A and B are shown apart, each in its own frame.
Chain A
Amino acid sequence: MITEVVSTQRKKIHPHKFTLWVAIASIIMMFAGLTSAYIVKGSLPGWSTVEIPQLFYYSTAVILLSSVSVQMALKAFKERNMALYRQLITVTAVLGIGFIVMQVLAFMQLWDRGLTMEGSSGAGQFLYIIFGLHALHVVGGVIALLVMFIKAFSSRIRNYDPVSVELASTYWHFVDLLWIYLFIFFIMSI
Chain B
Amino acid sequence: MSDGAVLHGHPEVRTTHEVHHDEHHVHHHQETFITKYVFSQDHKMIAKQFLITGMIWGVLGGLMSVIFRLQIGYPDQSFPILEQILGRWAKGGKITADAYYALVTMHGTVLVFFVLTGGLSGTFANFLIPLQIGARDMASPFLNMLSYWFFFTASIVMLSSFFVQTGPFSGGWTAYPPLSALGDASPGSKTGMDLWITAMALFVVSSLLGGLNYISTVLNMRTKGMSMTRLPLTIWALFFTAVLGVLSFPVLLSGFILLLFDRHAGTSFYLSDIYMASTQQALPNEGGSAILFQHLFWFLGHPEVYIILLPAMGMVSEVLSTNSRKPIFGYMAMVGSLFAIAILAFLVWAHHMFVSGLNPFLGSVFVLLTLLIAIPSAIKVFNWITTLWRGNIRFTPGMLFAIGFVSLFISGGLTGIFLGNSTLDIHLHDTYFVVAHFHIVMGVASFFGMFCGIYHWFPKMYGRYLNNTMAYIHFWVTMIGAYLIFWPLHYAGLAGMPRRYLDYSSWESFNQFSDLNKFISTVAMIVFAVQLMFIFNFFYSIFKGRKVVTQNPWGSTTLEWTAPIRPGHGNWPGEIPEVHRWAYDYGKDGREFIPQTEPVNPDESKH
* Chain A residues packing against B (C-beta within 8 Å): 1-2, 5-6, 9-13, 15-16, 18-19, 22-23, 25-27, 29-34, 37, 40-41, 44-47, 117-122, 125, 129, 133
Contacts and interface: CB of A to CB of B under 8 A. Distances in A.
A98 B282 CA distance: 43
A6 B261 contact: no
A127 B498 CA distance: 40
B139 A15 contact: yes
Contacts of B140: 15-16, 19
B212 A22 contact: yes
The prevalent SS among residues of A at the interface is helix
Contact of B287 (A25, A45, A133): A45
Given A117-B265, A119-B266, A18 B136 contact: no
B267 A15 contact: no
A120 B213 contact: no
A40 B136 CA distance: 47
Given A33-B251, A37-B292, A129 B287 contact: no
Contact of A22 (B246, B249, B268): B246
B212 A121 contact: no
Contacts of B577: none
Given A33-B250, A119-B268, A23 B212 contact: yes
A15 B142 CA distance: 13
B286 interface: yes
Interface in B172-216: 208, 211-213, 215-216
B221 to A, nearest CB: 6
23 contacts: A1-B27, A1-B29, A2-B570, A5-B570, A9-B136, A9-B223, A10-B222, A16-B139, A16-B216, A18-B216, A19-B139, A19-B140, A19-B212, A26-B211, A29-B247, A33-B251, A33-B299, A34-B258, A37-B292, A46-B287, A120-B287, A122-B287, A125-B268
Interface string B252-290: 011101100100011111001000000000001111110
Contacts of B285: 119-121
B220 interface: yes
A26 B252 CA distance: 11
Nearest to B576: A9
List 8 A-B pairs, minimum CB-CB distance, nearest first. A46-B287, A30-B250, A120-B286, A33-B251, A15-B139, A121-B268, A117-B265, A118-B266
A133 B257 CA distance: 10
A3 to B, nearest CB: 9
B224 A10 contact: yes
B246 A33 contact: no
B207 to A, nearest CB: 10
Interface of B: 27-29, 41, 135-137, 139-141, 143, 208, 211-213, 215-217, 219-224, 246-251, 253-255, 257-258, 261, 265-269, 272, 284-289, 292, 295-296, 299, 569-570, 576
Contacts, number: 145
Nearest to A11: B220
Nearest to B264: A117
Given A117-B261, A117-B266, A40 B250 contact: no
B269 A15 contact: no
A22 B253 contact: no
A125 B285 CA distance: 12
B246 A25 contact: yes
Contacts of A118: 265-267, 284
B226 to A, nearest CB: 9
Given A5-B570, A41-B287, A121-B288, A15 B217 contact: yes
B292 A40 contact: yes
A125 B267 contact: yes
Contacts of B289: 40-41, 44
B227 to A, nearest CB: 11
Nearest to B272: A46
A25 B576 CA distance: 32
Contacts of A6: 135-137, 221
B219 to A, nearest CB: 6
A121 B220 contact: no
A37 B268 CA distance: 13
B201 to A, nearest CB: 12
B213 to A, nearest CB: 7
Contacts of B265: 117-118
Contacts of A37: 254-255, 258, 269, 292, 295-296
Given A9-B221, A22-B215, 14 more contacts: A1-B569, A15-B139, A15-B220, A19-B140, A19-B215, A22-B212, A37-B254, A41-B292, A44-B289, A46-B268, A118-B265, A118-B267, A118-B284, A122-B287
A5 B28 CA distance: 13
A10 B27 CA distance: 23
B267 A117 contact: yes
A30 B254 contact: yes
A47 B287 CA distance: 6
Contacts of A46: 268, 272, 286-287
A100 B27 CA distance: 48
Contact of A2 (B136, B246, B268, B576): B136
B27 to A, nearest CB: 7
A125 B259 CA distance: 12
A119 B139 contact: no
Contacts of A47: 287
A147 to B, nearest CB: 15
A13 B284 CA distance: 54
Contacts of A5: 136, 570, 576
A14 to B, nearest CB: 8
A13 to B, nearest CB: 7
Given A119-B284, A121-B268, A32 B251 contact: yes
Contacts of B261: 117, 125, 129
A19 B247 CA distance: 14
A25 B251 CA distance: 12
